[in-house]
């Protein structure tokens, strides 16, 4: 009778972690480091619209409540309208920044221009 080899003791934690990371990188199908699929353009456009509108609504609502409470109509509502707009633009900037770097080549033509034609 032949006896089966006893199982090897597991290597150090660092070795196992490196092995797992290597397998993950090889199995990656382009979904990105977070494992999520890339957002479609329509989804991104919808998100940008919702970010802007919701920030403005929150800013105006907060300003309106403070105006009503403090009796300073319409000044705080105007101030918080602009603060909400700034917050919305910042949220959009962050959302677009998470899209990742542009693809290699960056849309430039061979001469290093932006690819536009015409004078200017």
Pick the more confident residue, 65 or 108: 65
**Nearest to 62, CA basis, from 80, 75, 79, 74:** 80
Q: What is the mean pLDDT of the chain?
A: 78
Q: Is position 9 within any domain?
A: no
Pick the more confident residue, 33 or 89: 89
Q: pLDDT, tens digit, for every residue of 68-106? A: 999 998 999 999 999 999 999 999 999 888 776 666 665
Q: How many domains does the chain fold into?
A: 1
Q: Is position 105 within any domain?
A: no
Q: Is position 63 within any domain?
A: yes
Domain encompassing residue 68: 40-99
State the pLDDT at residue 44.
84
Most confident by average pLDDT, 11-15, 30-34, 71-75? 71-75
CB 89 within 8 A of CB 59: no
Please determine, for residue 8, whether its predicted confidence score (pLDDT) is greater than 80: no
Region class of 105: left (phi > 0), else alpha (psi between -120 and 50), else beta:
left
Q: Is position 55 within any domain?
A: yes
Q: Is position 89 within any domain?
A: yes
Q: In angstroms, rounded to a whole number, what is the distance separating the alpha carbons of residues 21 and 49?
A: 37
Q: Is position 80 within any domain?
A: yes
Pick the more confident residue, 35 or 12: 12
């Amino acid at each position: 009778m032949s006896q089966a080899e006893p199982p090897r003791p597991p290597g150090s934690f660092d070795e196992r972690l490196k092995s797992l990371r290597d397998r993950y990188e090889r199995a990656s199908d382009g979904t990105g480091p977070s494992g999520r699929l890339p957002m479609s353009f329509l989804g991104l456009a919808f998100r940008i619209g919702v970010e802007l509108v919701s920030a403005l609504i929150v800013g105006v609502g907060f300003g309106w409540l403070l105006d009503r409470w403090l009796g300073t109509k319409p000044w705080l509502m105007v101030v918080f309208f602009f603060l909400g707009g700034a917050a919305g633009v910042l949220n959009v900037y962050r959302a677009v920044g998470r899209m990742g770097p542009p693809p290699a080549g960056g849309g430039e033509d061979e001469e290093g221009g932006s690819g536009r034609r015409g004078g200017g």
